[in-house]
């Protein structure tokens, strides 16, 4: 029994996951509930997640979300979804009720309406903060830094493992742009025989390497612990990318024992809780170099 999340701002979501898992909730239900609460919180938008996130270059908020269970073929995602405050709930519905695995744009909106979700006008999805940021982008081309994605992994009392991710994407992106987050193997991956992984960072670059799949495969084929698996995959990426073209990436992983780990190209805080821990803890992953070493090693 364990839970894990990307970035320091995931602490409240991970704490909610801890409470839900401890009370016996199934992993998928818990991940959906905790992610949805974060998505629909306007304050989380500052971290490029859900309501209050940064809009695209046309001033429209488009969100990506996905959920994946450890069982084969158990995946659902939405991308460039407009007007829904909790995209992960629509992604869960895609997994449960659609013959497809990924719906995008107007198709995702239409499916959401069919499933009874409220589709709000764009103005309701923005906040004064995101509206002002967009105005500054239009007037001054100010571009906020960061590529945050909220990723959550939960291992429940019954031994089920689920990973979910959500993001409003790169600030002021081109309309219709989709990053790594809702793509299986890229932004997230789960295998109930091994564990699960999630990625965060520059999605346009991350998707080219399918890192979440490879982290899980490292744990499966080589028996690596989560931390070693994350470091091995990141080291391979860094070796293949020219130093001048290095990009922001953070990886988290959990195995079926509830062990957790992370690796990153930038300073990367992540939060976690495991059975017998009193409360959620935050750890810092320090950047690796191209040899897989941390500074000073």
Annotated binding-site residues for substrate read 177-180, 200-203
The pLDDT-based confidence of 268 (bands split at 50, 70, 90) is very high
- Domain parsing of the chain, residue ranges: 2-285
Q: Is the pTM of the predicted complex or chain greater than 0.85?
A: yes
- Quote the CA–CA distance of 50 and 32 in Å, as a whole number: 13
* pLDDT digit string, tens, across residues 62-82: 999 999 999 998 999 999 999
pLDDT (mean) for 254-282 = 96
Buried b (16+ CB within 10 A) or exposed e, 249-279: bbbbbbbbebbbbbbbbbebbbbbbbeeeee
- Helix %, strand %, coil % of the chain (to 5): 35, 25, 40
Q: What is the CATH T-level fold of the domain 2-285, as seen in this structure?
A: 3.60.20
User: Which residue of the set 149, 162, 167, 271 is catalytic?
Assistant: 149
% of the chain exceeding 90 in pLDDT: 92
Determine if residue 105 is left, alpha or beta; phi over 0 gives left, psi from -120 to 50 gives alpha, anything else beta.
Answer: left
% of the chain exceeding 70 in pLDDT: 96
Annotated binding-site residues read 177-180, 200-203
Looking at residue 146, its pLDDT comes to 60
Query: Residue 144, exposed/middle/buried by CB under 10 A (0-12, 13-18, 19+)?
Result: middle
- Specify whether 149 is catalytic: yes
3-class SS at 294? coil
The pLDDT-based confidence of 296 (bands split at 50, 70, 90) is very low
Q: 133-147, 243-257, 270-284: which has the minimum mean pLDDT? A: 133-147
pLDDT (mean) for 169-182 = 96
3-class SS at 190? strand
- Name which of 154, 211, 152, 138 is nearest 179 in CA terms: 211
Looking at residue 71, its pLDDT comes to 93
């Amino acid at each position: 029994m364990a839970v894990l999340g990307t970035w320091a701002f995931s602490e409240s979501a991970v704490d909610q996951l801890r409470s839900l898992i401890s009370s016996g909730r199934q992993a998928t239900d818990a991940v959906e509930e905790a992610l949805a609460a974060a998505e629909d919180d306007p304050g989380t938008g500052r971290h490029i997640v859900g309501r209050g996130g940064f809009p695209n270059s046309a001033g429209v908020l488009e969100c990506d979300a996905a959920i994946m269970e450890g069982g084969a073929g158990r995946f659902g995602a939405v991308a460039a979804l407009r007007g829904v405050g909790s995209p992960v709930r629509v992604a869960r519905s895609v997994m449960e009720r659609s013959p497809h695995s990924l719906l995008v744009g107007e198709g995702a909106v239409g499916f959401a309406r069919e499933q009874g979700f409220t589709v709000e006008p764009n103005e309701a999805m923005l906040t004064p903060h995101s509206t002002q940021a967009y105005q500054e982008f239009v007037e001054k081309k100010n571009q906020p830094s960061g590529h945050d994605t909220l990723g959550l992994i939960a291992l429940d009392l019954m031994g089920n493992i689920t990973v979910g991710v959500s993001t409003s994407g790169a600030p002021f992106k081109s309309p219709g742009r989709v990053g790594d987050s809702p793509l299986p193997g890229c932004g997230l991956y789960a295998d109930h025989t091994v564990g699960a992984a999630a990625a965060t960072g520059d999605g346009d670059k991350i998707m080219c390497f399918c890192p979440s799949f490879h982290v899980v495969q490292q744990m499966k084929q080589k028996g690596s612990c989560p931390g070693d698996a994350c470091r091995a995959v990141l080291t391979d990426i860094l070796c293949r990318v020219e130093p001048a073209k290095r990009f922001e990436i953070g990886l988290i992983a959990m195995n079926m024992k509830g062990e957790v780990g992370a690796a990153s190209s930038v300073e990367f805080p992540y939060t976690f809780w495991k059975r017998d821990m009193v409360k959620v803890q935050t750890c810092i992953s320090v950047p690796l170099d191209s040899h897989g070493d941390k500074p000073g090693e």
